[in-house]
A and B are shown apart, each in its own frame.
Chain A
Amino acid sequence: MSDRVHQQIHARAREESLLNARVCVRTPKTNAIPPEVPPELREEIERHMALYPDTRSAALPALAAAQRLHGWCSPEAIEQVATVMGLTPAYLAAVASFYDMLETESIGRHDVYVCTNISCSLRGADRLYEAVRDAAGDDPDFNVRPFECLGACDIAPMASVDGVYVGPLTPDDVPRLLDDIRTGRPVLADKQLATRLVADPNANSQAFPAHPIEESAP
């Protein structure tokens, strides 16, 4: 109850001009009209909200859903989430900017995260990243990023393609990798983590290059 009252108090504070025009100039209000929310997005966010004792817990899944729809957490996407969740866009923008997987700038449709953390780097990840980055070039379909440890050092060096882990990779794999993405085939089907056995020690055997970590230009 008191929360709602406070929200009302707050809403009124914004509507009414507290500050007498005679003594103070206020900055013009922007975007007072709540944005239209696509019904399927609203529905998905509300489904997440219903799962938690405190609906705010749905912020990450909600932002992820908005990102799937809009391609990134654009101001528009954030305002839509804010409208459904009853939070301020500022709050959600702050949350979004905290997490690596929530994009606050427009990006390509396909995420290619190349792990460049220590274990992968020890096995040539920096060179791999450069190869992917160069091969993808300025193709707007790709979001190629060097990424922190993705938790698959057993297949180092590796990459996550829209969530599918593939490795160990060499620069030679890169053309096929991008081609698979472009054509919609399963990405490097023979190199997917999902096919790998844990208890087969030989499955882990691989040759790897003898070279130090190479720092890639940021």
Chain B
Amino acid sequence: MRRRLVPYLLILPGGLWLAIFFVVPMVVMLSFSLMEGDVVNGFALTWHWQNYTEGISTYADQLVRSLLYGVLATAACILLAYPAAYWIAFRGGVRKTTYLFLMLLPFFVSFVLRTFSWKFLLADDGIVLGPLKSAGLLPQDFHVIATGFAVVAGLTYNYLPFMVLPIYVALERVDPTMVEAAQDLYAGRAQAFLRVVFPLSLPGVFAGVLMTFVPVSADYVNATVLGGTNNTMIGNIIQNLYLVNSDYPEAAALSFTLMAILLVGIFLYARALGTEDVLEVATR
């Protein structure tokens, strides 16, 4: 009897934690998203679905922009992270862990602080652009801050390690004799990579995309610090509605809208990539 209880006891602390700090707030927010009212007079649950329809129509631009920035930053992360992870996994030798640690080193400095330092670095007359402008290499009105590029670059930078780690783990598990077998079977280096190494590392890319695309699309710090009025993301709107306007129902409705879009997006992505294949390779 006691033996059968052990597995449940193991899951109990984590399960309770999730129930209290995840499920309860989710239910509370979900009910908020269907309420009407204001802070002064209080909110009442009236099944007000218009919170959703109004939110989507009013903030369609920001929603689309969030997803676009999410896709761009995620793609940039893959392009930067894959070669780095590949190099560490196959050429890192005995210093693999050192290189990985260096990749994670920025985590030891506050996320907000790092983003602000970017603002300082890339300011219109800052230490990078200032000298270039006075040297006449850039036009006087050139700027990086307050552009979509700055926001995507910031997002890419901040979430890069979340892409490097899972890709590294997947590549590390690829048996080097697989590469030799491919070469033995008349594949050149490029073919061996494309036909064998890359497909075998896809579970890592898949995990990396999950770990970057979702938080990137919901991020508001980068758009606040590095973006201008034309680069606001849905995260900024939600933050404003919640903390400034105290419009909790609208903020909650937008949050759930974003969540639904991301879930559908991830689901379609998994289908397109062939989850069965991904999971099968991942559990080999």
Whether chain B is bound by chain A comes out as no
Which positions in A face B, CB cutoff 8 Å?
none
